[in-house]
Structure 1
Amino acid sequence: MASGESDTRTGSAGAGHAPNWLPQFCSAPTLFAVMIVAELVALIVVFAPEAQARPLLPRLGVASVYAQWLALLNVVVLCSLRPLFAQLGVRSGYLVAWALSIATTALASAVVCRMDQALGLGVSVPPGSTLRFVLANATICALIAAALLRYLFVLEQWRERVQAASRAQVDALQARIRPHFLFNSMNTIASLIRTRPAEAERTVEDLADLFRAALGSDAALGTLGEELDLVEHYLRIEQLRLGTRLRVERDFADPPRAIALPRLLLQPLIENAVYHGIQPRADGGTLALGVRRHGDGVEIVVENPLPPDAPVARNGVALANVRARIQYHFGARGELHVRTGPQVFRVTVRLPGSPGR
C-alpha cells in the first residue's frame, strides 16, 4: 500500500457503518469488473499451449464457467465478510481480503477436482494432478486479486477524497449565498416597519422560517413540500416589497411533496428570478414556477422575463451553489439546465426519487 495510507481503525466504522474507504464488493460495477477480469483469465488459459490438443470451444466453455463461478464465489465471500473489514484499517483490510480470496479459490478448486474425479466427468485434471491444479489456481488468484483489490481500495479512497472536496466546495458556496439572502430580506422588512407594521410583523414570522432553513445544516435533507412552503414565505416577502410588479404563476401538477432534497435548494433560483428578471423592469413581470413528477422523481421549472434592452445579468454564485449541491447529493442523477431565450430565462431542475449516487 502507499506510504501515506494509515493502518489505524477509522471512527466511521462504528455503529455498524462501514468506513468510506471500504469497497462496495456487492455493487454492480464491482461485480462487472470482476466478471470481466475472470473472463480474460479464462481466455488466456484457453489459448495457452497444452500437451493434449482439445477442441477450443468446449475448453473455452468449461474455463469460462469455472472462472466466473470462482469470481462470483469470491465476491460473495468478500461481501458477506464486509463487517469484518470495517473493523480493520486500510492495509489490514486489504491483506485480509487478499488472503481470503486465495483461500477461497484454493478450497473451491480442491472441491471441484474431487467432485469431477468422483463423477468421472473429466473436465478438470487427473487425480495425481490435484495439488498442482489447486496451487496453480491459488497462484493465479494471488496475482490477480492483488491487482484488482488494490484498484478497488484505491478507487474507493479516491472517491472519498472527491466527496470531501465536493462537500467543502458546497459549504463555501453556501456560506457566500446566505448573507446575500439574509441582507436582502432584512432590507425588505425595514421598508415595511413604518408604513405597514402589521404586514411587517407577519413578514418577520415568514423570515424566521427562512432563517431557520438558511442557517440549518445542509447535510440534513428536507422535503419538496417544505421547500415549496419556504418559497411561499419568500414570495410573500417580495410581493410586499414589489407590490403588483411581481406576479406569480404556479403550475403544480400533483407534486411529490414527500420527495427528499437539500434544504433551501429552490430559494436561490426564485431570488435570482426576482432580483435579476423582474425587479429591473419598470412594469415588473411574471415569475412562473412549475413542479411536476418526472419518472420516480420531480422536475422543477423556474421562468422569468428578461429586462428589456439590458444584458443578461445573473447571480452566478446562486446557480453554482444549486448545481454543486445537486451534484453532491445526487451525483449524475440530478440535473440543472439553464436556457436563455430572447425574452425569457428558464432554469430546469430534475431530481431523482431518492438521494445518493
Structure 2
Amino acid sequence: MNKHVPPRNGDTDFFLPELCRGEALLGLVLLAELLVMVLVLAEPGISGLDWSRLALVSFFVQWVVLLTVALLCPLRPWLMHLNSVHSSLLTCLLVVLVTLACTAASQYLEHFYQGVPREPADTVVYLKNALISLIMSAIVVRVLYLQSESRRQQRAELQARLQALQARIRPHFLFNSMNSIASLIELDAEQAERALLDLSDLFRAVLAQGDGPSSWQQEAGLARQYLSLEHYRLADRLQVEWHTGQLPDDLPIPHLTLQPLLENAILHGIQPLSAGGTIKVSARLDNGLFRLQLENPLPAQPGLHRGSGTALDNIRMRLVALFGPAASLTTHTGDGVFITKIQYPLPHVAAETPVKHESTDRRR
C-alpha cells in the first residue's frame, strides 16, 4: 500500500529552507550571479564589462555558495532546535567563515600559479570580502525569515477559516441525522433506539477528528457508518456500489467530505423513489489528481426536500482552502442520474500509484 508522507511542521515552520533541493539551490546560484554582476560593474576604473574579471569573481562567489550549502544542509536539523536569532547569527557567521576560507585559498592559488613568493595577507581584501558576505547573508536570511512568517500567518488564517467551515457542517450533519431517526420512530421504535445509539457513536467519531485534513480510510469508514444508519430507515431501497480500487489509506481528504455527499444523494435521489436506487461511489488517482465521483438516481419530480446547496458550497470552499484553486466540486445531471465530481491535486502522491478501477464493493 502506498503511503502519503506530509512534511513535518518543524520543517515547514523553520525559516531556512532545505537548500540541497534543486529549486532552492538554483535560486541561490542565480542570486549569487546577480551579485557578481553588480560587483564587477561597480568596480572603479573599469569601463564596460570585463569578462575575464566576471569569470574569476563568479568562480569565487559560486564556490562560497556551494560550500555554504554543503555545510548548512547537514547543520539544518541542529539549527532548527535553536531560536530564530541564534540560528540566523550562526548562518551568517558560517557564510563569513566560508568566504574567508575561500579568500585564503584564492590568494594562495594566485601566488602559486604566478610563481611568485607569497606576500603577507592583504587585510583589506579579507575585510572587504567578509563585509560583503555578511551584508548579503544578512539580507538573504532576513528575506527568508519574513517569508516564513508570512507563510505561518497564512496557515493560521487558513486554519481559522477551516475551523469556521467545519463548525458549520457538523451541526448540519447532526440535525439531518436526527431528522432521519425521527422519521424512523413511527415505523419501528426499537430500531430507532438502536439507530440513536449508533448515531451517538458516529457523532463521537466526527467530533474526535480535528479541523485539518482527514484520511481516505477515516472518511470511507465514517461514510459506511452513516450508510448503516440510513439502512435502518431505507432497508433494501438503499444500495451502494464502491469503486475505489487501491487507494492509499492515508490519502488526504477534507474531513466530512464524503458523508455530506452521500447524505445529499439519499435525501434527493433515493428517498423520493419508492423503489429506491443505487449510489455509485468512484475514486481514483490520475496523474497526481485525486478524483471522486458520486452518482445517484434522479427522480422525475423533485422531492419534498429542496436543498439550499449549503453542504456542497461548504465542501467546495474547504477544498479550495486546502488544495488551492485547482481543486473543484462540480455537479451535473444526465440520463436520469445526478453526478457530483470532486478533484484536487496531490503533488506528494506518486502519479504511478496502481489503481484497480474495476474493484466493486456493494456493501452498504
Question: Partner amino acid for 1:64?
Answer: S
> What CA distance in whole angstroms lies between the structure 2 residues aligned with 1:314 and 1:67?
62
The answer to whether structure 1 residue 81 and structure 2 residue 75 are counterparts is yes
Query: Equivalences for 1:111-126 in 2 at 5 Å?
Result: 111-120=105-114
The answer to whether structure 1 residue 181 and structure 2 residue 179 are counterparts is no
The aligned counterpart of 1:155 is 147
CA 1:118–1:274: 2 relative to 1, 3 Å: farther
Report the CA distance between 1:270 and its aligned residue: 2.3
Query: Equivalences for 1:28-47 in 2 at 5 Å?
Result: 28-47=22-41
Report the CA distance between 1:37 and its aligned residue: 1.0
149, 156, 161: which is aligned to 1:164? 156
**Cα offsets for 1:101-145 (capped at 9, x unmatched):** 2233223322333244335599xxx95674333333222222222
> What CA distance in whole angstroms lies between the structure 1 residues aligned with 2:78 and 2:242?
52
The aligned counterpart of 1:24 is 17
Kept in 1: contact 2:63–2:102 (CA 8 A)? no
Kept in 2: contact 1:306–1:345 (CA 8 A)? no
The answer to whether structure 1 residue 324 and structure 2 residue 318 are counterparts is yes
The aligned counterpart of 2:328 is 336
Query: Equivalences for 1:339-354 in 2 at 5 Å?
Result: 339-341=331-333, 344-350=338-344, 352=346
Report the CA distance between 1:40 and its aligned residue: 0.6
The answer to whether structure 1 residue 196 and structure 2 residue 175 are counterparts is no
Kept in 1: contact 2:159–2:211 (CA 8 A)? no
The worse-fitting range, judged by mean Cα deviation, of 31-40 and 109-118 is 109-118
The aligned counterpart of 1:108 is 102
Question: Partner amino acid for 1:251?
Answer: H
| 1:253 aligned counterpart, secondary structure | coil
Report the CA distance between 1:29 and its aligned residue: 4.5
Kept in 2: contact 1:256–1:298 (CA 8 A)? no
Question: Partner amino acid for 1:108?
Answer: C
CA 1:305–1:23: 2 relative to 1, 3 Å: farther
> What CA distance in whole angstroms lies between the structure 1 residues aligned with 2:183 and 2:307?
25
| 1:111 aligned counterpart, secondary structure | helix
| 2:284 aligned counterpart, secondary structure | strand
**Larger relative contact order, structure 1 or 2 (CA cutoff 8 Å, min sep 6):** 2
Aligned residue-pair number = 335
| 2:29 aligned counterpart, secondary structure | helix
| 2:153 aligned counterpart, secondary structure | helix
Report the CA distance between 1:147 and its aligned residue: 1.9
The aligned counterpart of 1:145 is 137
Query: Root-mean-square deviation (CA), in Å?
Result: 4.0
| 1:348 aligned counterpart, secondary structure | strand
The answer to whether structure 1 residue 217 and structure 2 residue 191 are counterparts is no
**Unaligned segments of structure 2, at least 5 residues:** 1-8, 350-364
> What CA distance in whole angstroms lies between the structure 2 residues aligned with 1:98 and 1:162?
27
CA 1:282–1:102: 2 relative to 1, 3 Å: farther
The aligned counterpart of 1:13 is none
**Cα offsets for 1:188-242 (capped at 9, x unmatched):** 2233245235644653464344223210132676542332222122223334434
295, 307, 327: which is aligned to 1:303? 295
The aligned counterpart of 2:247 is 255
The answer to whether structure 1 residue 132 and structure 2 residue 124 are counterparts is yes
Question: Partner amino acid for 2:17?
Answer: Q
| 1:81 aligned counterpart, secondary structure | helix
> What CA distance in whole angstroms lies between the structure 2 residues aligned with 1:271 and 1:116?
77
CA 1:351–1:44: 2 relative to 1, 3 Å: closer
Report the CA distance between 1:301 and its aligned residue: 1.6
Report the CA distance between 1:251 and its aligned residue: 2.3
Report the CA distance between 1:244 and its aligned residue: 6.2
**Unaligned segments of structure 1, at least 5 residues:** 1-15
The aligned counterpart of 2:264 is 272
Kept in 1: contact 2:159–2:212 (CA 8 A)? no
206, 213, 223: which is aligned to 1:231? 223
TM-score by length of 1: 0.74
| 2:283 aligned counterpart, secondary structure | strand
Question: Partner amino acid for 1:117?
Answer: H
